[in-house]
Structure 1
Amino acid sequence: MEPGNQTRVSEFILLGLSDEAELQPLLFWLFLSMYLNTFTGNLLIILAIIMDSHLHTPMYFFLSNLSFADISFTSTIVPKMLLNIQMQNKVITYEGCITQLYFFLLFGELDNFLLTVMAYDRFVAICHPLHYKVIMNPNFCGLLLLASWLLSVLNSLVSSLMILRLSFCTELEIPQYFCELNQVIQLACSDTFLNHLVMYFATGLLDVIPLTGILFSYTKIVSSVLRISSGGGKYKAFSTCGSHLSVVALFYGTGLGVYLSSAATQNSRASAIASVMYTVVTPMLNPFIYSLRNKDIKQALRKLYT
């Protein structure tokens, strides 16, 4: 690409979900309601865990951090989207795009690691119940949380800095409602081989390995539960990890669905609509899953209201 076709980037255009003017009010109120539900639901989970001493256990410690990550994850995307709809302006500055990309990767990856840590917590609780308090002691839980944060920060920092090395052409339209890493890379005029290499390496290392750890943990859990002779014991064991397993299925299922839909179709607008599932819908549903399937959370929430 000739230098004359390149320019100093000052802003990108987020094409959003629809160009139809009559749909914009509907999209605004729909996403505002979902965002408020996500924020309120996850905040109540955090407050319930903080206020109820019975929930000061490793499982709920990680759950409160997962709720914080979900609030932060959606807050990096939805407010800007709502502002663009309200102002009828699709522009996001170059600095704003890089910042949004950084925090989107940070809290998205933190979600991934926390789900993995929570799967390990359930594995220890069910497969090694006599050693649970020794293994999942406060110091070890703190180290697991710290490692999750450090790996997430490192991944988002490297990915964001790699974007800064790219030169962009005059075609700066992103067929999404937020700055998605792969879409931004595709707009570059300069060589993107290193960016794609880092992106695929990070995906393999930071996404595939945690998912493998989750699958391994639940394989061991199922094997241990099936060895329990009483039906009541099996139900009690499964009930302790049912909510987490539902959230894992929702998180990875929607993410995989978006990936497969984007690979199977050239319709970028359809991919943007599919992205709503893991960026907005999944964080909104997590509090409902934990509150509806967990009697301890239900009791803690009742105490908040009384």
Structure 2
Amino acid sequence: MRRNLDESEDAIAQVFEGKQRLWEKEMEELKRLYSSKMRQVSQQSQRSQRTLQLQVYKAQQEKRRLQEDLEALQKECQSLKARSSGLQQEQDSPRLEETKWEVCQKSGEISLLKQQLRDAQAEVTHKLGEIFQLKTQLREARAELRARDGQIEALRQTLRGAHRGDREEKQQQQQQQQQEEEEEEARKAPFCPLEEEEEEREAGEERPGRGGQGTTEERLRAELLLERRQNEAQASTFEAERQTWQAEKEKVICYQKELQASYLEMYHKNQALERELRELRGSGGGVAPGADRPLPGLPWIERIESSEI
């Protein structure tokens, strides 16, 4: 009977070891797949970040250039306004047509700057779309991380259930063996010291096996904790990058609003200058034919609505 119990314990131990090796192999495969996915997402995020930083730098350079052009145009508009004031004293001067032509030319330059501003806005919108895509990838990575954590937790629960079942089965076997030994002791008057020594040796062999199982379980728990901390660190890095992109986006939006205000101010000044020129032309006596036609209106500067994620 003891031999049968030993054989059943060996068979149970072999089955448990096989299951444990299978679980360890599955956990290693899950770790490898998740690490590969995280590396790919991290590399793509780094490349996108470098590209975005370069394009933000180009946008800043373009901002400075447009601002310099705007200041130059404002100075020219002030100069034209001063010249129009002088034209009020020179009603029949041919410089009126020249001034009108310069105003039209400046209007064309403003239209060109407006188109450049639209192009810059489209580029910023494209970059915001890339940021949104990266945020989507970050959410997917977090969801996958939570799914992996759930799988790992399920494996841990399965491992605990297996340990618990083995312990209960061993306890039942030990109780049954103890009852049989008590019955055998009751039948045998003299107790055999040789059998007692053998039982103590078998009990001593069972205890190290249990200790090894506990060590393996602790090692698995440590590996799971390390993996979870690494995943949390990766998520923190993604969040810091997202905040950096958000700050850059706010800077670009602020710049767009300032540029819009400057364009509107320049547009109103040009309208005032155009009215003064029309009044001056209407009060003149010998102006050239066709001079009574109104100047073409300056293109309306549309309001810039910056899209936000």
Q: State the TM-score, normalized to the length of structure 2.
A: 0.28
Higher helix fraction: Structure 1 or Structure 2? 2
Larger radius of gyration: 2
